[in-house]
Amino acid sequence: MSSTLLSFPQKKFTQAKFVKAEKNVKELSLSVDVMKNESRKLLERAALAEKDMKYGHTELTNAGNHIQRLAKSVYKVETQAADLMDGLRETPGREALRLRAEASRALSSFFLLVVNEFVRVVASMLSHLRRQRTDLNKRIMKISDLGVSV
């Protein structure tokens, strides 16, 4: 017999090693595919988070602009009311008292409308921000569960 020929037990041992190596390669390939899919999903989620953050930023900017417009309106009405009150102070008698009370009620209802609108906008922003924070915390937990420190 030649020295390059393997005995039956050696051949069987070599084949078993080869089969085990093939199995390990397949498992490794499967693991790589799983990691690629997870990586793709994480990138998609990161893109969605970025989109959500941009949306939130836009919402905050819009709310800020809305609040500035409301403040400008309040200033204008306040100026008009002050002018009206100055005029009423110069008006004598019961008519002046009636007009002052009417102006005060009108001004109060306007401020109530402004405050209610402001509260609605802030509540809406707060609700949206809470949802954003909850979603981001969930995403952070998923990343942490994958063994990535955050």
| Model pLDDT for residues 91-150, shown as the tens digit of each residue | 667 776 776 777 777 777 777 677 777 777 777 777 777 787 787 777 778 777 777 676
Per-residue exposure over 102-126, b if at least 16 CB sit within 10 Å of its own CB, e if not: ebeeebeeeeeebeeebeebeeebe
What confidence tens digit (pLDDT) does each residue in 59-72 have? 777 777 777 787 77
Does 1 map to a domain?
no
Summarize pLDDT for 86-96 with one digit per residue, the tens. 776 676 677 76
The Cα–Cα gap between 34 and 11 comes to 34
Domain containing 107: what range? 50-145
In a domain, residue 32? The reply is: no
How many angstroms from the chain centroid is the CA of residue 37?
25
Please indicate, yes or no, whether the overall pTM of this predicted structure exceeds 0.85: no
Give 12-61 pLDDT, tens digit per residue: 888 888 899 999 999 999 999 999 999 999 999 999 988 988 887 787 77
Length of the chain: 150
Mean pLDDT of the chain: 78
Asked whether residue 6 is domain-assigned, the answer is no
Q: Is residue 10 part of a domain?
A: no
59 inside domain? yes
Single-letter residue type at 4: T
Q: 23 in a domain, yes or no?
A: no
With respect to residue 36, please indicate whether it lies within any of the assigned structural domains.
Answer: no
pLDDT value at position 128?
Answer: 76
Number of folded domains that form the chain? 1
Put residue 5 in one of left, alpha, beta given phi > 0 → left and psi -120 to 50 → alpha: beta
Using an 8 Å Cβ cutoff, are 43 and 98 in contact?
no
